[in-house]
Amino acid sequence: DIVLTQSPDSLAVSLGERATINCKSSQSVFYSYHKKNYLAWYQQKPGQPPKLLIYWASTRASGVPDRFSGSGSGTDFTLTISTLQAEDVAVYYCQQYYTTPRPVTFGQGTRLEIK
Amino acid sequence: QVQLVQSGAEVRKPGASVKVSCKAFGYTFTGYYIHWVRQAPGQGLEWMGWINPNNGATAYEQKFQGRVTMTRDTSISTAYMELSSLRSDDTAVYYCARAPAILTYYFDYWGQGALVTVSS
């Protein structure tokens, strides 16, 4: 199975500052035939299901503010929040879907708080 | 609009089974795979498997093979996940989630979750 390792495990950032979360995959999730990275990012707030933020490593999901961006390729990926808002406090997960039909795997999560 | 509405919280004893439902609204149920993901208290996300509502085909994470069964009833646009031989470490919130395209297994819509508590 592909293992996704996120860093850091937790992060405290001041309002208005940049937050960066990393996700490293144990093997490449770039599918050369489709020229796509099979990686997504989710935001989960307490008591809520995860919410899709980014798919194909860098495509923002519908309705997601443009302060959220995804980058990277192959085995190393980054989620960036350009100017942190109070409502961005949450746990963030990366997920690979390269190894379909199974299994899908998630990173362990990164908790983002306000400094 | 697209919605996945799950059944409510359940309490079961060790060794029992539980069946969680996930009813789809706002889209063609048979056109999108439904996946199941669970989250133990304070822990991360764990993928369990998927069902193709069009033909009932399934794929399960190896860890759950033999204990999980995913089914669907297309007449009521509902998917089900049944987990048997429950243990205390099966206590978790169980989510259903929709994958937006065939062989594209990120999840664009999620159910609200169903808490399953396993306790004697």
Q: Once rounded to an integer, what is the mean pLDDT over residues B13-22?
A: 98
Closest B-chain CA to A96: B106
- What's the pLDDT score for residue A102? 67
Is the Cβ pair A51, B110 closer than 8 Å? yes
Residue A99 has pLDDT above 80, yes or no: no
CA dist B57 to A18, A52, B22, B34, B70, Å? 44, 25, 17, 11, 9
Kindly write down the DSSP assignment for every residue of chain B, as one continuous string.
--EEEE---EEE-TT--EEEEEEEESS-GGGS-EEEEEE-TT---EEEEEE-TTT--EEE-GGGTTTEEEEEEGGGTEEEEEE-S--GGG-EEEEEEE-SBTTB---SEE---EEEEE--
pLDDT, tens digit (0-9, with 9 covering 90-100), for B99-118: 988 778 899 999 999 999 99
pLDDT, tens digit (0-9, with 9 covering 90-100), for A11-61: 999 999 999 999 999 999 999 998 999 999 999 999 999 999 999 999 999
- What's the pLDDT score for residue B90? 98
Q: Which chain B positions have a beta carbon within 8 Å of A93's beta carbon? A: 44-45
Residue A100 has pLDDT above 70, yes or no: no
- What's the pLDDT score for residue B61? 93
Q: B2: buried, middle or exposed (CB in 10 Å: 19+, 13-18, 0-12)? A: exposed
Average pLDDT, whole number, for chain A?
95
Q: Once rounded to an integer, what is the mean pLDDT over residues B9-23?
A: 98
